[in-house]
Amino acid sequence: MTVASMLSLDDVGVACQSVEYKPGWTLRWGRDQDAYWLQWLYETIDSGTRAPRLARGRKWRISYHSTRSEVVWTAFKAALTNEEHECREFFRYAGAPIAMPHFDVDELAAFCVGATRDARTPPQ
């Protein structure tokens, strides 16, 4: 594949099949209307029930004009982002999941607007 040629779904597949990560992690790929995509499926523990489950990371879009290197680095970024997501789900302070990625952004925004004290400022 030259830089000037368009990436095919087979090219994406060859790149994705060459990527390895943790046991239990599988990289899948496909195509939608205007781009290719890749997505990690991985075994994890549910942060609420503590039961094992299969998780699906978000789909990462890949332009038809991408290179094989961009596909591979997108898979790397997707793995990093999934690991951060897991960390946010399991991280607790005083028993509360303060970094939970599933919190509603509008509720977070309302809380932030109402928050009056910077944590670095001593209480009055």
Would you say 13 and 20 are in contact if contact means Cβ atoms under 8 Å apart? no
Would you say 77 and 68 are in contact if contact means Cβ atoms under 8 Å apart? no
Strand partners, 37: 30, 61
Crossing angle for the helix pair 68-90 and 9-17, nearest 10 degrees?
60
Q: Which among 63, 58, 56 has a CA at the least distance from the CA of 12?
A: 63
Per-domain residue ranges of the chain: 9-114
Output the pLDDT for position 4: 56
pLDDT tens column, 27-86: 999 999 889 999 999 999 999 899 999 999 999 999 999 999 999 999 999 999 999 999
Q: What is the value of pTM for the model shown?
A: 0.85
